A and B are shown apart, each in its own frame.
Chain A
Amino acid sequence: MTYLQEPPVGRWPGQNRCAFVVTVGFEAELSVLAAAPDAVDRAKSLSVGQYGGNRGVDRLLAELARFGTRASWFIPGSNLLTYPRQADAVAAAGHEPANMGWALEDMGQQTLSQQLESIGRAQDAFDVLLGISPQGFRAGRGSFAAGLPEQLAGLGFTWSSSWHGDDLPHFHAASAADLVEVPRHHELDDFPYFVFNLDPPIPKGSPRIASSREVLRNWILEFDAYLAEGLCFVLTLHPEIIGTPGRVGMLRQFLEHVNSCSGVWQATGGEVAQWWRQNAAPNSPSHPAEIFHTLTREGAPA
């Protein structure tokens, strides 16, 4: 007897059983600076992240093109200036560019107006440099100030991918209900498994780099379960992490597995959000997004 329950018919378009979204965080050296702000003139440490711009983006774009996979690329606004050729290549390949603020600030440490300034500055850069207005947003380190979902919805954003409270999309609460969250999970992200700088140590405890073979196996086990349960699998990649000659082969094996399965709706975050907005019921009152809103609408609870 199995514990698995048949997902409801029609949760996803057509005959599809689950959704599969590839998201990319093009952070490059900003992720090094986020972990070690004093590395600003440490060229070796910065180059660990710059590898993503120098080598990883092109390799990842080629790999995604091999499968015809369109991804949602979160690009901090300042990287549009640092890596204009790469940003053009992402947009030209038909991927969905999305907003990640200006420079990977920890939004948990910012006021609402600082967050809005960072997001607006990036949005202006997308407009000027690529002639587009992204509709998706990811907080660089996940956190929002109270009120940001409402502001994002008001600015025309249709989706966000920052939280971890579900394995299906959901709406944000109250007056931000137009904003769909496409939640992501650390175990489906290349960064926690592989990021490494010796000195300054990133991660702090200098753990060994994970086994690519086992990470591939983790992703396949998760994907098979998401498919069985009819959920929304959100993969998070970083060109500076997955874009090495060896790891891109692991990604290839993973995408081969995904493509060998039937009933998988491969879509961008924006497409999933649009589907969800048009077809899904409102959040249950006990959804984490509703509970968080209820508990915090009058400030932090005692």
Chain B
Amino acid sequence: MIQQNGHAGAALWPDGNRSAVALAFDLDGPTGDAMLKGTIWSRPEYFSQGAYGPWRALDRILALLDAHQVPATFFTPAWVVQTWPEQCRRIVAHGHEVAHHGYKHEKYWDLSLDEQRQVIGTSQRIFQDVLGVTATGFRTPSGDWRPETPALLAELGFLYSSSMRGEDRPYRHHGGQLIEIPARSDMDDYASLAYTTNPDWPSGGDRIAGYEPTLDNWTREFDGYHAEGLCLATIFHPKVVGKPGRAALLDRWIRHMKDAGGVWFGTCGQIAGWWQQTQELEPTA
């Protein structure tokens, strides 16, 4: 068996908790490639599928988080904040964290550093104006960025990113300032449940998975993270996992984790803050 959490000595998590769970949702709405290219404006049904997230699924998820008394992080493109301000203010009012996810879900791999700086600046102004929040968290849309992006984020005052897939514990990016809260595709609802047509996703037209097998996968992942004392972060999307029957799955999954006992449910920001205060400065990755 792998040594618990890979760190010798004291427990990693506050209050004697065995593992940490960061429930994190990407509230993309209809932003993304089709909006960046402009093709979405002749695809109202595709627009509406994305809009279901902030319009319908968000309130369902907020009610679910309230019922379980667990906090979450909502990585929200600033265009969504501008377009659904009341809905996004409810995220903050319910005690959750809002964090950056581009303006229209730009791929940071495609952007120069100046363009990245511009998108982040615009988004931060919208977060401040509409939500009264200066965000300290960032998840790069679709995951990839330029090699210089972590240093830029640190320079712009960000505490953490949740963009990488290669760990199951937080770590510091090189340079030591920016914390990473990695989230793996195993815990991405797109990998099992998302389905769109024209543009097609998955690109090969693969099937929507069975709900019960999906819940079983998520449950097995949690059980393993908990046994090893790690940090599980999700890449959930309200428009995908916030459908009525899927929210019921999420309800069962959170219930299972709470029943396990010894789980610290934190926002990504809380977990990053804890890591920054308690862990050595040397980057582990």
Contacts and interface: CB of A to CB of B under 8 A. Distances in A.
A and B part of one assembly: yes
Interface of A: 1-5, 106, 108, 139, 141-146, 162-167, 183, 185-187, 192-193, 202-211, 214-215, 217-218, 221-226, 228-229, 231, 286-289, 291-292, 295-296, 300-301
Interface string B192-224: 010111101011111111111100000000000
Given A1-B67, A3-B67, A143-B42, A225 B245 contact: yes
Interface string B237-254: 000000111011101000
Give the secondary structure class of B's interface. Answer: helix
Given A165-B49, A166-B55, A167-B243, 20 more contacts: A142-B198, A144-B44, A163-B48, A164-B52, A165-B51, A166-B48, A185-B243, A186-B197, A205-B205, A207-B207, A214-B210, A214-B213, A218-B211, A218-B245, A221-B212, A221-B249, A225-B244, A229-B244, A286-B84, A288-B51
A5 B244 CA distance: 12
A204 B203 contact: yes
A222 B243 CA distance: 8
Given A143-B42, A185-B243, A225-B244, A192 B195 contact: yes
Nearest to A181: B48
A286 B87 contact: yes
A214 B197 CA distance: 21
Given A108-B43, A142-B45, A187-B243, A166 B56 contact: yes
Interface of B: 38, 41-49, 51-52, 55-56, 60, 63-64, 66-68, 83-84, 86-87, 193, 195-198, 200, 202-213, 243-245, 247-249, 251
A104 to B, nearest CB: 13
A142 B44 CA distance: 8
Contacts of B87: 286
Given A142-B197, A166-B55, A207 B205 contact: yes
Nearest to B200: A204
B245 A224 contact: yes
A36 B204 CA distance: 14
A291 B204 contact: no
B67 to A, nearest CB: 4
Contacts of B196: 186
A286 B204 CA distance: 33
